[in-house]
Structure 1
Amino acid sequence: MAFRPRDLADRMAGRRKPDDGYLRETFTLPRDKARTKARDFLSRYPKAAYMSGVESWRELPGGDIEFTMRRLRSAD
């Protein structure tokens, strides 16, 4: 059985401390739409109030961008 890098990433994410106070959302979009989505996220949840930001990102072989945005849970 072949493992993909995403399998490892999912397994590592499962080990993450579950109650660190952040909510995370992962998106996979073309570059321009990824930029727009990140801007919208940061407009909706400003860094000063919610400590929001891009936690990680990577470019996939097809050119899409996979990125994870995080924000404080207290924003809900």
Structure 2
Amino acid sequence: MSRLTPPPLGGLSRQLQRTRNSRGVGRDAARMPGAGGDSFVRETFTLPREAARTKAREWLDRYPKAAYWTSVESWRTLPEGDIEFTMRRLPSAD
């Protein structure tokens, strides 16, 4: 039996780097919102826990996940008990 070896990834790595360089987007900038890395619309809220749940539900109802890829991108509990969260969605459905 022959052993399967993984393919070399050097060519893929070079291609990705060329693509990033041609768009003027560095490795860190590609991950940052609004830096040309993606086209998502984001909005950050700071609300009490129950109001935060209601607001997230409103977004998910208004912009269905199947069409807009809507999601809670990040969230955290603040020392005073409020929830800070960022909702993300595509600008329009196809």
TM-score range relative to shorter protein: 0.7 to 0.9
Aligned length: 61
TM-score (ref. length: structure 2): 0.61
**After the TM superposition, which residues 23-38 of structure 1 pair with which residues of structure 2 at under 5 Å, given as runs?**
23-38=41-56
The structure with the largest alpha-carbon Rg is: 2
**Counterparts in 2 of 1:1-76, with a 5 A limit?**
16-18=32-34, 19=36, 20-75=38-93
Structure 1 unaligned segments of length 5 or more: list them.
1-14
Which structure carries more helix by proportion? 1
Detail structure 1 runs of 4+ shifted over 2 Å in the superposition. none
Q: Report % sequence identity.
A: 70
Gaps of 5+ in 2: 1-30
Q: Let me know the Cα RMSD of the aligned residues.
A: 1.4
Measure the CA separation in 2 of the matches of 1:44 and 1:37: 10
Q: CA deviation at 1:74?
A: 2.5
The structure where strand makes up a greater share of residues is 1
